[in-house]
Every structure is written in structure tokens, then in C-alpha cells.
Structure 1
């Protein structure tokens, strides 16, 4: 459309120029003028075509650029929509996770389930670091008829009582009540599970499965009315431990077991060395006896040789005497 309009304008311009020069010049110079106008028209057409081609190229480039831009925008819109969808999925996942956490927290509302969870956690830790013959779960004391969650059988034959406590209710409600509850539990462990007459150590461990509660106990956060739970536990020879600190206790006991094992192996080696020394002494005695026997045999052999020599000499003399007579 643009090229047609442009061609019409050019035609009108050329026609006007021709009419003008036709009336003005009526001699031979008119032909020259027409030739020049033809050249001008030719160059003008070339320029026009060049401009039109450039315009067409620009329009095509603009169209392609618009298409690319539109495609890029569509791609970004799809990616944005996918991102929004992914965020929605994550929000739903977080909601489900929060529901699961809430359900898990509800489990700990029950003191019985809480206690069972602490016992299972304690048993799991012991099973990871000790062979089954080194500990016993739900150990029964004959003298008191009480049952402790677990005991460690130490290398010296004595027992280390370990009882799990998880006093969550009062911890969340009131620190003063929590301190009183801990005091009662410490008294219970000290009276029931520290029994040297039945082979226990004079200390026991109170396993607290929650690090936050253990931190409050150890760092004096439960001190109320001049009562400090950690100091009271030390006085009663009850040692509070958390999952992390219990690991350190386990490592110390494991080192003890290794030391005892190494000592036993060293004693066994010395026994074997002593046996070898004893056998070597017996072998030395046997060699001495054999040497004595060999010496006696040698002496007898030499003595027999001398007698045989004398006998030969006598025989030679007898034989020589007979010959001379």
C-alpha cells in the first residue's frame, strides 16, 4: 500500500515537470532535458526501491522481534505459573508437616506414652554402643522389688542404674512445680536404684530425653526458693544426662571396657609367655639329661674301645709267642 501511494506521488511529480518543461522549451534542448529527466527518474526509482526494501526489512525485523518477545513473554508466564503452582504445593506440604508435628506433640501429652518413648530412646542408644551382654533392660532388684529402666554391667562386675524421666507437663506450666517434680524423681532414683548391696554403684544416671529440659536443670534455670535441682541431684548422687552428655558417659565406659579387655589380653599373653618359659626350662633339663646320657655313652664307648685295644694287644702277644715257640 505504501509503495503504491509513493509511486503515484512520484508519477505526479514527473508529469508536472514534463508539462512545465514542454511549454517552456520547444527547441532541440527539450530532448536533452527529457533524457536528463529520464536519468533522474531512474535514479529516483532506484532510491525509492532501496528505501522500500529497507522499510520492508525493518518491518520484517520488527515483526520477528515482536514474535520473539511474545514467545519469551509466554515462556516467562508459563514459568511464573509453574512457580506459583510449586509454591502452592510447598505450602500444602508445610501444612501437612505442621499437622504431623502437631500430632507428634499430642503424643507427648500422655505421660505414659512419653515415658515409653524415653525408655525406647534409651534402649536404642545402649544397643548402638554396647553388646547385649553388657546391659540389661527393665532390671529387677530383688531387695526392693523395684524395676529400673536399664542397668549397665560394668567391667568390675558392678551395675550402673539408668532411669529415664520426661517431666514435660510441669515444665511447660510452672518452673516451681517442675522443680518439685524433679526433686521427687531424684529421691525416687536415689532410694530405689542405688543399692550397693545388690552390686550397684553408689551413683545412678537420670536420663532426660529432651535437651531443653536438661539445659534448664543443669544451668540452674530451675532454681526456686533457694532450691537448685542440679545441686540437689549431686547431693543425692544422681547424675542427670541428656542424649548428648549420655554419649560422653558411654564413651568413657567403652574406654574402660577396652582397657579391661587389653589388660585381660596382656595377662593372657604373659601366661602364654610363662608357659613357654616353663616349657623351655623343661626342654633344657631334657637336653641336660640327654647330654649326660651321651657323655656316659661316650665314656662307655671310650672304655670299651680301650678294653678292645688291650684285648687285641693280648691276643697279638699270645699269637706271637706261639709262633716263636
Structure 2
């Protein structure tokens, strides 16, 4: 644009110089004519003065008319030049406006592209991090899943300690139902061979072995106890027959000792089993009738290595064993739980690093957009400074000189700031 304006200014100067040279030639011709007339006047005597004066007047009028024609052409040329410059200024302003709007549109497209890429990258990274965290939490959940079962066992123990019966006040709670309700299927078994396959105990609880060479130890529980003797004792007490009650009481002691002896001979076989067994009495009344006789309980424990248990007592014992199993399992898996928690901690650390990187990328993108906006404003300010400097006067006085006539032409100046 500057080169074009410079070319236009040079053309303008060239045409002005041509006009100036033509005017100078005309003036030179006029001077030559005047000199010839003066010579003619000098030679023609005084009688030709009037003729010469008349000719000079006519020639002077012609010269003036010629000069006025040149001035009109100069004014016409100045008008055309001003119109041309005005059109050029309007064209430049329109192009600058189009350039500014195009830059703004491109910047908006760049911002949208950057936002889209950052959004997709952020979603991808966050999705991957949350997936890893979810997997770690799932492993933690699996490792701590036994805690829920432990809470269930504590609840069962609370029921037993609060004297909640499974089958009514004097309900005959069977051992199998209690084991099924309290213990896990893998923690007990039925009809377990305990003496090299010759004898099988009805129920046995699976205890962990003493060392790695022994996987498990069985705790025998025998519930095969006849209730007829107890029924005769109760009937005698209800009838108030002291002799029958004493006979029934002695018979009950003998039956309990015989059952305990059978349990000791058949089912206690270390190291396959523990060195004691449990004699389960099916009702609370029968259990209370036996344990109130201190001598028989001590005899069973000392001579037969048998512990007597009723429904409430066996439930409390089973819950204690269950909590022991859970505690042991948690201790075994504590290292795995620690590894999972360490992995989760590491993943969270990586997640924090990813967030820091995302924040840095967002800051970089924001700085880039700000820099683009700053440059756009700078370009806009620079384009607003583009001015067309025009001459204050629309026409110049023509100076006529016999030596060197001149015609001043306005110059076009373009100023632009970087």
C-alpha cells in the first residue's frame, strides 16, 4: 500500500513538472514575442507605438487566458487526486476491518480447539485415574469384606447374651441349626472321622493347625444325648416323689458320665482332634440340672476331658470361635490389605501429579490466549494509527516568475507504527 501511494505521488509530481515546464515554455515564448515587439517598436518609430501597444494588450490577454486555463487544469487535477485518495482511504479502512474480524474469528476457533483438546485430555486422564482408584478400592473392599461377617457374628453374640432363644423359652435348639446360623460352612463339618476312620463324630469345628505341617484340628461336639432320664427327673419333681427324684438324679449322673466316657474314648484323638470335646445338652433346663451338680462337672472335665454346654453356652462358645477365626483371617490378610492401601495411596499421588500437569497445561493455554488477545489489541491500535496526511490547502498560489515559474503540489504522507 505504501509503495502504491509513493508511485501515485511520483506520478503526481511528474505531471506537475510537465505542467510547470509547459508554463515555462509559454512564458519564454511570450518573452520572445515581447522582445521582438520591443525591437519592432524601436525600429518602427513612434507612429507604430499605438499598434504595438494594442498588440501587446491582445497578447497579454491571451497569456492571461492561457495561465487561467493552466490554473483550472491544476485545480481539476487536485480534485481528482483528493477523490482518488479518499477512495484509497476507504478501501484501506475496509481491508483493515476485514482483517481484524478475520483475526478475531481465527482466535475464537483456536480457543475452541484448545478447549476441546484440553477437555478431552482431562476427561481421559481423569477416567483412567478413577478407574485405577476404583480397582484399588475394590481390592480393599475384598480384603476387608470379612469385617462385615465379623459384625454379623458380634450381632449374633449380642442376641445370645441378651437371652434371645432360637425356639422359645425352653425350645430345643438343635446343634446343627446353631452351627448353620453362627459358623461359616467351611468352619465346621458333619460326620467327621477322628480316629483313623473307625469313629465319626456328629459335628466337629475346624480349628487351624499348630504349624504349617498340620493344616487343621477338629473340635468334637456330640449332641446324641437321650432325654428320657431328664424327663423322668422332671416328672418326679413335679409329683413331689423324693425317692423317685433321687433315683432319677442318680440315673442322670450315671448317664452323663457314661456319655462323657464314650465321647472321650471315641472322639478325642490328638493330634487329629483337640485334647477335649464338648457334650451338648439340647435344652437349658437339662443343662442347668447338670451344671448345678459341681462334682459331676469337675469329674467330666478332669476324668473325661469333656466340657458340658447348653444352647446359650454353645452359642457363646461358637461366636467366640467365630471372632477368633475372623481375627486370624484379618491378621493373615493384613499384609495384603496394607499392600492395597499402599497402592491406593500411590495412585492418589499419581492422580495429584496428573492434576498438577493439567493445571499447568490450562495455565499455558490461558497464557497463549491472553498473548494472542494482547497482540490482537496491539495490531488494532497500530491499524488505528494509519492516517492519510492531506494538505491543508486545496489549491496553491501560482507564482509567475520570468526566471523560473513554480507550481507547488501537495505531498501524501503515510505514518504507521510498528
TM-score bin (small chain): 0.3 to 0.5
- Higher relative helix content: 1
Provide TM-score, normalisation by structure 2. 0.34
Larger RCO, structures 1/2 (Cα 8 Å, 6+ apart): 2
Could you say which structure has the larger radius of gyration? 2
